[in-house]
Structure 1
């Protein structure tokens, strides 16, 4: 049929996401994207709107794929925030250890290259990182801990998560990464066990 795309858009998006993940935004050229997807520049622009628009679509795909996993593991432990965060770190480490995907985290890498992104893409990275913070903060909800402490704790968990991604790309072993996660889980548990002033734990 005339005008019908002769390629799998989702597959091309997946290949592009992987390339941005492997190389970062700055080192991913249109020529490399074309080689990875088998598409010419005209098809890339016509389908995705150019490199920056394609990059943001790849960020969305990444955030959706892994965000859904994180939502499931966090939701699997209602009223057990410490256990939920432990499960969250397990999911993060499983993703890092997965040999079928690049090392690290596309969002972490993109945040580190913020200076190379245009304003729209830079803002998009911040929005997606904000969603991760919101998801963790929701899982940490506890009536026995001060809300400000929970905000700080959620930011701490996200910071450790991003650090794990950086350490994995730097070549640290899975055992080293799990040691970091264990210490983080202990910190979370200890903070949650510390009652809010004037509140007696149930």
Structure 2
């Protein structure tokens, strides 16, 4: 249509996602989103929605992008459970080390801000964290852990995974982050070797 500015929605969503990731939901204003996306406020509202719906879309986009990578990493858990869980952690460690994205994790950052978020956004963040535990539990059951051990390790590994992003943002070195992973891997290795009842 003549006179109407066209833009790539995916590019705009990625730019908004990075802005939310860098500054957090509460500290991102519409002006920040306008600068990040190159769109004026009316274009943001008409094409991407209000701030809350845009954030929800960005959180879904983030969860899908990295969730697919986590799923690929865990796909071989029944044959190589330790290798699969290490590959799961490597998805996070590679993201943390990637200079093209902000440090930390959009999901972890959102979860830490839950008391200040609207109920809808808080629920969405809790759901995304819950999906991580479900993904891990399914892989650990495939690795032949007992239901109880799979539940416990899914909670533990999800918590460690989120803490890697927080620790990185707080200045932890790659060596320290790998040490955190190694300790969790050692505990999982012992559980996998334990005789089944």
Shorter-normalised TM range:
over 0.9
User: Measured at CA, do residues 100 and 160 of structure 1 come closer, stay the same or move farther in structure 2, by a change above 3 Å?
Assistant: same
* Mapped contact 2:133–2:154 kept (Cα < 8 A): yes
Within 5 Å, give how 1:62-101 maps onto structure 2. 62-101=62-101
Q: Distance in 1 between matches of 2:63 and 2:82?
A: 23
After the TM superposition, which of the residue ranges 77-86 and 48-57 deviates more from structure 2?
77-86
Residue in 2 aligned with 1:146?
A: 146
Partners of 1:71 and 1:169 in 2: CA distance: 24
Select between 72-81 and 29-38 the one with higher mean Cα deviation: 72-81
Deviation at 1:26, TM superposition (A): 0.8
| Contact 1:71–1:135 (Cα < 8 Å) also in 2 | yes
Structure 1 position 140, deviation (Å): 0.7
Moved over 2 A (4+): 2-5, 76-80, 142-146
CA–CA separation in structure 2 for the residues paired with 1:27 and 1:173: 26
Is the contact made by 2:78 and 2:143 (CA closer than 8 Å) also made in structure 1?
no
Shift of 1:82: 2.0
Q: TM-score, normalised by structure 1?
A: 0.92
- CA 1:143–1:64 in 2, change beyond 3 Å: closer, same or farther? closer
Distance 1:134 1:25 in 2: 25
Say what the alpha-carbon RMSD is for the aligned residues: 1.6
Structure 2 equivalent of residue 46 of structure 1: 46
- CA offset at residue 130 of structure 1? 1.1
**SS of the residue aligned with 1:26?**
coil
Whether the 8 Å CA contact 1:144–1:195 is kept in 2: the answer is no
**Mean CA deviation greater in 123-132 or 1-10:** 1-10
* Aligned positions of 1:112-151 closer than 5 A: 112-142=112-142, 145-151=145-151
Tell me, which stretches of 5 or more residues in structure 2 are unaligned? none
Distance 2:44 2:185 in 1: 43
Change (3 A) 1:76 1:149: closer
Structure 1 unaligned regions, length at least 5: 198-202
Alignment partner, residue 35 of structure 2: 35
What residue in structure 2 maps to residue 165 of structure 1? 165
Encode CA deviations 1:77-132: one digit per residue, 9 max, x unaligned.
Answer: 43322221111112211111111111010000000011221111111111111111
Which deviates further from its counterpart, 79-88 or 129-138?
79-88
- Using the alignment, how far apart are the partners of 2:139 and 2:145 within structure 1? 13
- Helix, strand or coil for the counterpart of 2:172? coil
TM-score (norm 2): 0.94
Matches of 2:143 and 2:35 in 1, distance apart?
Answer: 53
